[in-house]
Amino acid sequence: MRLSDIGELALLEIIRKRFARKSKLRTKQKGIIVNIGDDAAVIKPRAKKLLITTDMMVERVHFDLSFTTPYQLGFKLVSVNASDIYAMGGTPHYLLLDIAMNKITEESFVNSFFDGIQDAIKLYGISLIGGDLSSSKKDMVAAASLIGYAEIPVKRSGAKPGDKIYVTGSLGDSACGLEVLKKADSCQLSAVSKKITAANYPLIAKFKKTGLTWNTIAPLLKRHLMPEARNSKNLIKYATAMIDLSDGLFIDLSRLCNESRAGARIYIEHIPVSNQAKEASSALGLDLFKLATSGGEDYELLFTAPPDYKPRAMSHELKITCIGAITKKGMVAVDKYGKESALKAEGYQHYGIQR
């Protein structure tokens, strides 16, 4: 069955049943007064300061339906927005969706997309409270707006010279995962399954030749296709400035520095990369340094903290790595021999500008 057989009103009713009528108690606890199905949602926020962010995903720009499953797409849409809320030191709460799909879209695709959204909002403790459904003539477009709470928002502008610069997790995994997918495109690796499973791996004949195992590529694919946003809860009281890495380490660092009117010195050797990314980039002839510094969609947190901050003392499940320090001005990269060079703010920019 396709959307043209279901129609907008019936689809709305399916969404409403799935998301809005699950638990009236929970709805009340969350401060939701009017849920999906009116001209606007009504909430009674439980905090004095609200965070509001929005991010969109456009087919053939942000995603390729031969690489990603609808489940992963739905999950990622929520994650990239949650990441923005965490990057402000907040907690995500209320979600609105704008979805434009071609009328020939299969019902199973739509269901799987909403499965991904549902699993993600459960993971982050978010409620879907509204949205807009549209048709599209060609590409699918999905945008989400997410509202969160923050006691003390952590801005991009608070970094001071002398602060150290930290990142969560490892960088370049997502970009590396994308390269793996590009090389496997004809096999439509992931589009066959709801989640990434080893069962799909035998399909990728190409990779058998490289000697790469499923255990190596699975975490890279997962980081690209359905990243989990990093909860900043344990960082808030230390962080002087924070940003999430969506367009690439160097470009996002330069944004934080611009807002803070400061500079940075980054020690290249300290940039954390995973063993999987090392293996895969080596086997496939990829430049891991470039992926880790200019590859987009890491969705790790970059933050600054005063020199006395001790990341080891934190009960955070994620590795936190110091990669440099905030300076008065200028952006400098230091290589393993101590050689300095100007750090170029490279990363993903829409409209494909050439410099």
Pick out residues in 8-37 that bind a copy of itself (CB under 8 A).
8-11, 33-34, 37
Q: Which is nearer to a copy of itself, 23 or 54 (by Cβ)?
A: 54
Tell me which residues in 85-124 interact with a copy of itself (CB under 8 A). Answer: 85, 87-88, 90, 94, 96-98, 100, 103
- Residue 295 binds to a copy of itself (criterion: CB under 8 A): no
Instruction: Count residues near a copy of itself (CB under 8 A).
Output: 78
Of the candidate residues 36, 51, 323, 333, the single one contacting a copy of itself (CB under 8 A):
51
Say how far apart CA 64 and CA 185 lie, in whole Å: 10
Closest CA to 14 of 36, 40, 41: 36
Task: Decide if residue 163 touches a copy of itself (CB under 8 A).
Answer: no
- Assess 164 for contact with a copy of itself (CB under 8 A): no
141 is an interface residue for a copy of itself by CB under 8 A: yes
Tell me whether residue 70 or residue 219 sits nearer to a copy of itself (CB atom).
70
| 7 touching a copy of itself, by CB under 8 A | yes
The rounded distance, in Å, linking the Cα atoms of 91 and 149 is 5
Q: Please report whether residue 60 would count as binding a copy of itself according to CB under 8 A.
A: yes
Angle, CA 318 vertex, CA 196 and CA 121 arms, to 5°: 55
Report the candidate in 10, 144, 21, 28 with the shortest Cα–Cα distance to residue 84: 144
For tokens 């994308």, what's the residue?
Answer: 178
Handedness of CA 90, 72, 196, 246 (dihedral sign): negative
Cβ distance to a copy of itself smaller for residue 39 or 317: 39
Nearest distance in Å: CB 178, a copy of itself? 17
339 binds a copy of itself (CB under 8 A): no
CB 302 within 8 A of CB 167: yes
Give the burial class of 51: count Cβ atoms within 10 A of its Cβ; 0-12 exposed, 13-18 middle, 19 or more buried.
Answer: buried
Instruction: Name which of residues 259 to 278 contact a copy of itself (CB under 8 A).
Output: 259
